[in-house]
Structure 1
Amino acid sequence: MPRTLVFDIGQVLLRYDPHLAYLDLLPDHAMRTHFLTEILPPEWNLEQDRGRDWREAEALQIAKHPDHADLIRAFRANWRKMVPEAIAPNVAVLEDALAAGIPTYAITNFASDTLAEADTIYPFLTRFAGRVVSAEERLLKPDPAIFRVFLERYGQQAEDCLFMDDSRPNVDAAAAMGFSVIHVAPATDLRAEVRRFGFAV
């Protein structure tokens, strides 16, 4: 049975929705969806999670879409609106695990500067025994290399770890390396799932 908990952050501990940054700027849902799929697609933002500088990222898209320059810059400027709240039941699992002395870590796809902001808004993010952050490693889940960084840095064995993530590819990659896994969906009762693996939380 696993002895260590390993959390993702976005959509596991924090609600994340880029649409929230554009509700006032692009009130029409169809226009907002078009912008966030065609002008600033998720793949663009993922490169900031890999460590690309925001100014470089903005310049790249502004060169392609000069008429949308202000809206492109608004993505980073309004980032805090994208993470409006913690997912309270899941954070309670984290806090109870910490209180019980269960080794607790995070592996996250996150830009360094926005994670630093999130740390100030949600201090529980600073309480892990350790974190592996994609932007700092220049690696993204589901690349197995980022999981190897975690295992080697913190002296863990995959079979001793329970990994929780909202992304099916990330969960599948961890499972292929020997982690126990939970695919976290909005309806997931995370406490019940974690208890199923023998954790007293």
Structure 2
Amino acid sequence: MAQQGRRLAVYKKILQDNVKRWMIKEFLEYKLARLGYIYSEVLKTPLGTRIVIYAERPSRIIGKKGAVVKELSQILSAKMGVDNPQIDVIDISKVDVPEMFPKVIAYRIANAMAKGIRFRRVAFVAVRQVTEAGARGFELVISGKLSTERAKFEKYKVGKVYKSGNDSMKTVRRAAVHVLLKPGIYGIRIAIAPANAKFADDFKIKPPVKQETQQS
């Protein structure tokens, strides 16, 4: 019974750590949504908790003399109970091409629409940027009061984007962003198959090899 109690305590600790990691990521995404935030990693170290933030514009997240990072560290420590948070901000372009990340494209579209640019023009620009970056597949869905008082959606698709199966879960990158404009809330949903993506149905046909016959 004592051994079973210890096991349950370990499982409970793992669940608590996972919940706290999820809460940290949700908080960072909410707090830094307009500052070029893409995604983050939360790592436990002997000195505390290391948080790596990947951003399109690191300077905006760091802030003047690190003011934004200091504020984030204080909130994470005081209100969320994060042990000694250490925040690092990395430029997403050092990891991969920015156009291969759906959230980068989604925020670009949202910011352009907030400035009054027509959604179709923004959509065609996004399609061109992603295809020129070498993506194997790209799908964009914009929903809301696009041209009438009734909500509808428009879809733009180029290349191959899987909707189900292992390739859809492991290879295709997805993101959804919402933007509030005067007519109402607009949804921007993006799926990208990166340039270096390898699908399960990729194959190459090797040319036949000629075998030399031995003459007796």
Query: TM-score when scaled to structure 2?
Result: 0.27
More strand as a share of residues: 2
Larger Cα-atom Rg: 2
More helix as a share of residues: 1
